[in-house]
DNA sequence: TTTGACCTTTGACCTAACTCCAAGGTTTAT
DNA sequence: ATAAACCTTGGAGTTAGGTCAAAGGTCAAA
């Protein structure tokens, strides 16, 4: 049984983060002390670690809410559901990667066309390109 | 000479966006009509296109403010300065790409380990992995 | 002349995921 | 006993780049 600061420290997050997760339905402390302090159980700690691992994998908090729902009643779901979520996330990421790669290539092309020398930028091809495509 | 709605329509942005750019020091209309309407010149239109092109290249508005400063007095800057900015941006992008690629690979690995079948997720390796690393 | 499409300003709201603050109550250590 | 270090709540602020609404003034067409 942990108080909020203890669990937070154990998982290297701030107490406010746990309150935030609670407010957003991701982690409810098992109970409260007679004076109203949040008391977290080992299961809660495990659930927090689940959340943090999923976050590190790139899932949003609302994705994680879904994963927690599934995890809470695994038998109601198929592997296909879970795998579908993960693959969708991977695809989403890939789409962003592609977009950023195109952007990076454009920038590199822009940079390559510039002499990069110490003289005045009056003739700079980068600025020219941005000025009039 | 354009009123705000005209310039906005010509560049496919909303009037509010132009007001926002003005508030943030990116684009000041050449003058105002006697009744207070913003009046944009052809130079302003050109500057807006500069802004939009730079944005499409992945520059943030504060990057663009810098670029506009340079553009406004090109002779005070060297090509090296401009190229440096562009290369820094490309590198920044590359760093994000690398990070997202690692994330995508982790997700793909996670997905690959799951059977993805229609039976219950009780044995799902994805959930197991997230539950206890 | 009256409708409707413009324009003005100020200021609130949006997403995401926290983070911080204030004002007060509690626990712990010396 | 008292000060430090915790805990509570509610609500505001952060970043980035807008987007919208309200309340009012202006302008062109029918
Ligand atoms: Zn040069
Ligand atoms: Zn150059
Ligand atoms: Zn399976
Ligand atoms: Zn599975």
Q: What is the mean pLDDT, run by run of 10 residues, along chain A of 133 residues?
A: 97 97 97 97 98 96 96 96 96 95 96 95 96 84
Q: Could you tell me the pTM of the whole model?
A: 0.91
Task: State the Cα–Cα distance between residues A77 and B127, nearest whole angstrom.
Answer: 11
Cβ-defined contact of B79 to A54 (cutoff 8 Å):
no
Considering only CB atoms, which chain B residues are within 8 Å of A44? none
Averaged over B23-41, what is the pLDDT? 97
Averaged over B101-124, what is the pLDDT? 96
Q: Looking up tokens 């700079």, which residue turns up?
A: A124
Which residues of chain A (21-50) touch nucleic strand C at CB < 7 A?
Answer: 33-35, 37
Confidence of residue B133 (pLDDT cuts 50, 70, 90): confident
Q: Looking up tokens 């950023």, which residue turns up?
A: A100
End-to-end CA distance of chain B: 63
Determine if strand D comes within 7 Å of the CB of A38: yes
Q: Please give the pLDDT value at position A132.
A: 87
- Cα→Cα distances A38→A46, B32, B55, B72, Å: 16, 59, 46, 58
Q: Please give the pLDDT value at position B105.
A: 96
Six-digit token string for A28: 């409810």
Cβ-defined contact of A114 to B82 (cutoff 8 Å):
yes
Listed residue (B54, B67, B57) closest to A107, CA to CA: B57
3-state secondary structure of A78: strand
Considering only CB atoms, which chain B residues are within 8 Å of A84? 116
The 10 Å Cβ neighbour count of residue A25 is: 12
């Amino acid at each position: 049984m942990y108080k909020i600061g203890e669990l937070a420290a154990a998982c290297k997050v701030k107490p406010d983060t746990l309150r935030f997760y609670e407010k957003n339905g991701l982690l409810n402390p098992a109970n409260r002390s007679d004076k109203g302090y949040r008391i977290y159980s080992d299961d809660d700690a495990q659930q927090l670690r689940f959340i943090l691992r999923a976050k590190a994998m790139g899932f949003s908090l609302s994705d994680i809410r879904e994963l927690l729902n599934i995890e809470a009643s695994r038998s109601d779901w198929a592997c296909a559901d879970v795998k579908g979520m993960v693959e969708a996330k991977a695809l989403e990421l890939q789409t962003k990667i592609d977009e950023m790669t195109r952007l990076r290539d454009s920038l590199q092309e822009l940079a390559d066309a510039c002499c990069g020398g110490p003289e005045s930028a009056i003739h700079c091809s980068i600025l020219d390109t941005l000025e009039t495509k």
